[in-house]
A and B are shown apart, each in its own frame.
Chain A
């Protein structure tokens, strides 16, 4: 069995259910977060409360961590709510996670059928199932937009 890399250990320590279901896709980065990554932005973080100088939040979205506010943020990028995360020809889809406190995470469906996630300040991963990141809570909403 191959020895786990530092990044793989980092992921498994936080998301034990992901073991065997993910691949690391990047080095850790502070430059962007999961919400920005889901919108294909890797030059800034999306944050309703600015922690860092370059943090950004879509101007039309409320500055809170509700799923509704997060959906409004993604609506500014052309996403609309949809029923599920199944692959749909011509569309790009995202899944929004939620815990008891509010929104936690966004994952993007890849053409391969896997999901792409940026883990906070950590690395990007590709994972097989949305449930692999159960520590983020449950998926509360799906959104889709036409592929450019």
Chain B
């Protein structure tokens, strides 16, 4: 169960109620109210949620770039709370981060590695910028389920609903 949505589910026992979480609850889950809209069923199962991942990512990316601009090493920059917040958004971020890799921004490769368990640099005979990019493209081809955009997620439900 998505821990970010647990507080939402506790807020309603009316059928298919659209809920917006309060700020404090979502902050605790590392998200903001604008990120999450969820529909929950009477059985308190999530029917869907929509997370504007690209918007949230851009907010965090701008903060991260500003906050870490004085660092020279990616490993130091990747320890910053805003980078960690991107990783904390979870597997839904994989498609967004692959778009960043495609755009030439390899600073998101370590985040992708954390989310997927795949580290392209380990398999490459020579670690190069282009080699890492191509390795991620190959990985995406081989893992279409994780690499697909996921701005709308459908979760399995206890009351049999599987789609919205």
Contacts and interface: CB of A to CB of B under 8 A. Distances in A.
B75 A102 contact: yes
A104 B106 contact: no
Contact of A51 (B69, B76, B107, B130): B107
Interface residues of A, number: 31
A140 to B, nearest CB: 14
Interface residues of B, number: 22
Contacts of A104: 71-73, 76
Interface string B52-87: 000000000000000011111111100100000000
Output the residue of B73, B129, B130 with the most chain A CB within 10 A: B73
A143 interface: no
Interface stretch (A19-27, A77-85, A115-123): A115-123
Interface string A8-44: 0000001100000000000000000111000000000
Interface of A: 14-15, 33-35, 45-53, 55, 57, 63-65, 99, 101-105, 118-122, 135
Interface of B: 68-76, 79, 104-107, 109-110, 121, 127-130, 132
A103 to B, nearest CB: 7
